[in-house]
Structure 1
């Protein structure tokens, strides 16, 4: 069975490709780079621009594809030069290009990688797949629009459609989305606000791999799924773990009121000068002090979410 992976050279793409190869699947990868990552030599690879429909169609027209794992995307950028239109072009319009060409190549199942940012700041303590979406960031808006456009098109042509909404992802080679929630620069300290009991829903890349394998093996019905670690950890728990692992010299309780005031002023200045997306800094602060817990119960009924920070980052254990 041949699976097409878009964005195969990306961090998640490489892990997913290795996981599917280990299960005996034939992998065809596409990306914008001239060559595939050297660690993925067993995969077939073609360079393709998914924003160019004619180029994508010409590139893939001679391939038979059974299933698609669409990971290619434009993610967060701090630069205000990246507009909503830029996000829409890659995350929405190009995703529709991939779906159309994949269907022409015979694909029967399509998995779209999305994000919990489609929910926005809901005000709810726990969010699940039934929570209404109200994205606030350009990234979240483009992903949600893509979800809707893909659903409309794929249902019209009889292709099974799956959406995986990832919480912030970490892997051994990339822990930025984890570290920025608890670590100060240069290992000065690991921090938390207030009592530190607010929880973060994070996702090991290995849980993503296992969830994609379950999709490939037909263990999951079409629909929308939140993909996250089974258990959310508190900011204080993560901060203490970072100190115990030698990544921080001390654990620090941060003054929330002072930080909020300073960041509000900085946010106002950056927005007025066009150097930051409106509301982005405060939105990011809210993620630190009022994080939403995302419920992965739905997918956990089909996939054993066995990976966590400890066994992903600090253990030699390998995925099966």
Structure 2
């Protein structure tokens, strides 16, 4: 296959290029390089590397492609809160436009990086794809509205698929520490404290960033009739955790670190435990490569190898929100 990947130099995208190349696919990458310099290890290059804002993608960029894998976004709730309109411009409007262009260009499959955050403050635990959505942020709302609009484009020649990904974590050549697992481990190594900003009770489904890449590849290979126009939770039932459970895992890896509940964010209304039965019914051979324990062990080993410490934790390089604040003019 020839695959067009947006955000291919990001936290997940750098894994996705590697996965696709290992499977023998040709990769056309498209990335505005907003976070250039955030890499901490070499990344696998795409066959074609477009330095382009996803809002400017044209038909010619998609020539001969068999699939679009769309990851580029203002990529979490705090970043979305920084500028809600920009979040909708990039995450919703550009995503819908890209789907239209892909369809017009004859690309048969469009895989969209959505999020389990669409469930927000869940009305119950163990939410599946048929349960009500309760978005609490511009980021989550943008994902829902994209699903709604892109679904209208689905027909015999165009198959969109919406990956409602669990909260990502883990080692990547383009590290992020503004994600709950990575943040707590980074805090332990930097301060000897596992600083939990809530009371630790909220539930989150968690998934290693490489497993999201593996899911994209698997859903691209799946027969059309299996995945056509479906929203699919991506993760595993066994990988739902309370934030305090993550703190316990960090303490296992950094025994001298103490757990501190700072309470600075108050009661976190985002609380969702998610079911993933649909994914495994559609793709019975799909399995996660990591669980939380093994993924955190790998990340801990990498952080120690790199000498990760307080300067890294407090700097801009691995925190997308800080980098974005300094580079907003490149998106405007």
TM range (shorter): 0.7 to 0.9
Larger Rg: 1
* Alpha-carbon displacement from aligned partner over 1:170-216 (angstroms, at most 9, x marks no partner): 02133432247856674443367999676431111122122112112
For structure 1, list consecutive stretches of 5 or more residues without a partner in the other structure: 264-280
What's the secondary structure of 1:226's corresponding residue? strand
Aligned mates of 1:199, 1:142 — CA distance in 2: 22
What is the 5 A alignment of 1:113-262? 113-152=113-152, 154-155=153-154, 158-172=157-171, 173-179=175-181, 186-190=190-194, 199-218=203-222, 220-222=226-228, 223-231=230-238, 232-246=240-254, 249-251=257-259, 254=261, 259=263
Cα separation, partners in 2 of 1:178 and 1:158, compared to 1, 3 Å: same
Deviation at 1:169, TM superposition (A): 0.4
1:60 and 1:105 in contact (8 A); partners too: no
1:126 and 1:292 in contact (8 A); partners too: yes
1:99 and 1:150 in contact (8 A); partners too: yes
What's the secondary structure of 1:127's corresponding residue? coil
* Alpha-carbon displacement from aligned partner over 1:251-281 (angstroms, at most 9, x marks no partner): 45x49xxx4xxx5xxxxxxxxxxxxxxxxx5
1:190 and 1:239 in contact (8 A); partners too: yes
1:151 and 1:161 in contact (8 A); partners too: yes
Deviation at 1:108, TM superposition (A): 0.3
What's the secondary structure of 2:269's corresponding residue? helix
* Alpha-carbon displacement from aligned partner over 1:273-314 (angstroms, at most 9, x marks no partner): xxxxxxxx557x234xxx321111211331212411222232
Aligned mates of 1:126, 1:241 — CA distance in 2: 22
Normalising by structure 2, what TM-score? 0.74
**Does 2:18 align with 1:18?**
yes
Deviation at 1:10, TM superposition (A): 1.1
For structure 2, list consecutive stretches of 5 or more residues without a partner in the other structure: 302-332
